[in-house]
Amino acid sequence: MTEEEILESVSKIEVREGVHRTIKSYALRDSTLDEERRRILLANFERYGAVFKDEPTDMHALFNDPSKDVIIEIGFGMGSSTQLIARDRDEYNYLGLEVYLNGYVKLMRDVAKMGLDNIRLMRFNAVDVLERMVPDSSIKGFHIFFPDPWQKKRHHKRRLIQPAFVHLLTQKLVPGGYIYAVTDWEEYAEWMMEVFSSEPGLINPAGAGSYSAPIPWRPETKFERKGLEKEHVIRELWFERPLEG
């Protein structure tokens, strides 16, 4: 790709069609490239970047080893846990989706330093990627760690976890695939439990209405530690698409 093509690929982050667009679950922060971010992006995009395509795409083909199952992380933030999971669970390939430019470039820099070859990063709206690019029954798992709880009641419509979105995730899972979500906001945990439990295509291995025990391979993040210092309770939710037959 040329320099112009690379910069263009990270500048557009959603598909716009008329005025009827899904309510955004994110609020854009700094979206400018200074010289250092530009250098990191141009140096590493060919190896770690992924480009949005408005057509069904074999997600396995994005990676050097297409035989591995693909896991998608939605909203990886600064990517501190993303890189460690990809390093320690290298039997999987990971596609990270994030619209926050600073986090996107930082994680690209970090995985390049680590020399990981099982991770690709895309700066694009997750709903568009799932609806338009990811084939049904193709993804092993989804990670959604500490999504914005949009605390005020009038903002609840902006929450990522909504029935239609969870149904979309379920359609993309392979039989036996999972959705793994974590939050430190109790009311949002209850909201997520209700939404996930209401999706007929998912089961809760922990039992109806029960949160998952902590998953040992998910590393604790700096953000999470801050929540614990404020005596927030970490809630983990693990739901699966049942094996067919």
The catalytic residues are 148
| 155: Cβ contacts below 8 Å, ≥ 6 apart | none
Which amino acid belongs to residue 188? Y
H-helix or E-strand containing 139? strand 139-145
Which amino acid belongs to residue 109? R
Phi–psi pair at 215, nearest 5 degrees: -85, 120
Q: Give, in degrees to the nearest 5, the angle at Cα 73 between 126 and 226.
A: 110
Question: Other C-beta atoms within 10 Å of 6: how many?
Answer: 18
